[in-house]
Amino acid sequence: MKHIGTILLASLLLMPTVSALPHSESTPYSWYCKRNGEHRLPSCDPQLEFLDRHAAFYADENATEEDKVVYLTFDAGYENGNIAAILDTLRDYDAPASFFILSHLAESESGLVARMFDEGHLVCNHTASHRDMSGVKDRETFLGELSLLEETVREATGHEVARYYRPPEGRFSERNLIWAEEAGYTTVFWSFAYADWDNEKQPDCAAAKQKILDNLHNGAILLLHPTSKTNAAILPELLEELTQAGYRFGRIDEIDA
């Protein structure tokens, strides 16, 4: 994104660092952005000014008040009975989304993944195995994770994965971004996420929906896990409230990296 540098500078004195190490292309980072309140774009850590150089973004900084937009993204590694319900809700609200998937989902639930394609969603690369990519030392291994997911989806559905990559657990290095970009991928982070991934400790529905609404901003990229029964339960009301507030739902391929 063209304006990440400005946001980084503004946040210089406000944020803890995401890596305690001096920067090099191999320095590992954990993605984090600081919520600002008042429905404003979260601040990005000043160490991450290199995102601007390598086709990476975490929000749509060019969203306007005349075209309010939210990007629903889902990190999907497996199915536990909630993905189909989430797809039903997205269909009912004519809300396109972007799914970052693993090989296991394509292999075990090829029908669901095919449905994502058929219903107009973007199916993207979350690697084959969900390994920590920040520790990968060579380009061949890194790209092997991406190409294996591509091949698995192609064989399972006959479709091609969109060239958008999300690092598992938000772990990355600048070198990862370079390799992804060289392979034609845009790296996509997020401006909102919350603790929805633990199936044994699901958040309260009312509290979860309110947390999302309280931290919403124009151009937000929401990271949700479709395995969450809370997310499946609150999604209809959430989409209804966002629609009533004048938002539309976009796919991340609308965003200019």
Active site residues: 75, 225
Answer whether 221's CB lies under 8 Å from 212's CB: no
Query: How far is it, in rounded angstroms, from Cα 221 to Cα 188?
Result: 9
Of 73, 75, 128, whose CA–CA distance to 254 is shortest?
Answer: 73
- Region for residue 18 given its phi and psi (left: phi exceeds 0; alpha: psi -120 to 50; beta: otherwise): alpha
Report the length, in residues, of the chain: 257
Radius of gyration, CA atoms only, the chain: 17
| Three-class secondary structure of residue 101 per DSSP | strand
Token pair of 36 as six digits: 């600002």
Query: How far is it, in rounded angstroms, from Cα 184 to Cα 190?
Result: 20
Which is it for the CA torsion 92, 153, 111, 222, positive or negative? negative
